[in-house]
Structure 1
Amino acid sequence: MLGAVHWTEQLIRWPFSVIFGNGGGRAMPNPEFKPDVSGTQLRDEFEEARARHAAVHTLDRDGVDTVLSYTRATPAARATFDLGPVKEDLRTTLLDMSDLELDALGRAGLSAIRKFVEGRDHGVFGVRTFVPGEPVKVAVLEPPKPMTVQEQMFWRVKSRADKTGNQFKMPG
């Protein structure tokens, strides 16, 4: 009985051993492959390709990456940040913006920053719309002296609203 099982098993394996080989002397030998590139050369080539690919995304033609980096930097790092790649009126606007505006713009994302740089409506709440070629308004720093307490409070609210953005303007 054991011989019959062994003979049946060999009969079933025979077509597969002819096609794929059974590792014995009659089967076709496996092809030899000797790579001409070492593992370290392959890794270096991969790292170079990765660096080239990453460099494509950091092309900063219109200053979007610079504005993104500036808005996401800490307030201490912004003081030493190089804003050379951006236009002069955009640079003036960025330097005039409050920390709250810069933080909101930095959290907004790449498309909103691109719209901000282009001077289009970006839809970020609390951030003024940059208009290329238009001078930046500077808030009045000293209130007029003869004011009542209510007028001083109104003046403070109005000056803060003027400083943070155009959408907070109050009539008057």
Structure 2
Amino acid sequence: MTKSDVVEDFLHARRSAAAVHTLDRDGIDSVLRFCAAHREDRPTTPLPKNLDPAVRVALRTMDDAALRAIATAPIGKVRKFIDGVPHAIHGVPEIVKNNAAPEAEQLPPPGMTEHQRILWKIKAQLEKTKASEPFRAVKP
């Protein structure tokens, strides 16, 4: 085995590894590719369709410093950014998902009497406990 054979085998292995299609089920590779792309290439860089629309809008409207911070962040923090949970990437705003309930909906509606407000709180507590109960199948 000569030196040229070793180099040729190495280059062949490198080419075959680069040719492997990466599975991008949750969109992390596409987001990292988008964030690392040059400013002029970003409009043509595709984002996965399975990303939340709020994340897509945020990525398209972020400045270069925030996108660079995402591109250099660890994968776990990027995954948290995509999921809309606190991610601790400095300079990158947190994304609020559309399915997150705003705090204003948890307050009683204005103009209620004291009696109606108490009934509203009781009803809210009952619905809250029912929403968190696990599903139980009835035994035949």
Question: Which band: TM-score by shorter chain?
Answer: 0.5 to 0.7
**What SS does structure 2 have at the residue aligned with 1:124?**
coil
1:105 aligns with 2:81: no
1:121 corresponds to which of 86, 90, 103: 86
1:67 aligns with 2:35: no
Name the CA distance, whole Å, in 2 between partners of 1:118 and 1:88.
Answer: 8
Name the CA distance, whole Å, in 2 between partners of 1:112 and 1:64.
Answer: 10
Q: Which residue type is aligned with residue 24 of structure 2?
A: D
Name the CA distance, whole Å, in 2 between partners of 1:51 and 1:61.
Answer: 23
Name the CA distance, whole Å, in 1 between partners of 2:24 and 2:52.
Answer: 15
Quick one: structure 1 residues 102 and 52, their matched pair in 2 at CA, closer, same or farther if it must change by over 3 Å? same
Q: Which residue type is aligned with residue 41 of structure 2?
A: A
Residue 51 of structure 2: aligned partner? 87
Quick one: structure 1 residues 50 and 105, their matched pair in 2 at CA, closer, same or farther if it must change by over 3 Å? same
**Correspondence list, 1:23-172, <5 A:** 47=12, 58-89=22-53, 90-133=55-98
TM-score normalized with structure 1 length: 0.44
**What SS does structure 2 have at the residue aligned with 1:68?**
helix
Q: Which range moves more in the overlay, 65-74 or 105-114?
A: 105-114
Q: Which residue type is aligned with residue 102 of structure 1?
A: L
Name the CA distance, whole Å, in 2 between partners of 1:119 and 1:88.
Answer: 9
Question: What are the ranges of 5 or more consecutive residues in structure 2 without an aligned counterpart?
Answer: 101-140
TM-score normalized with structure 2 length: 0.52
**What SS does structure 2 have at the residue aligned with 1:79?**
helix
Q: Aligned Cα RMSD in Å?
A: 3.3
Moved over 3 A (4+): 49-57
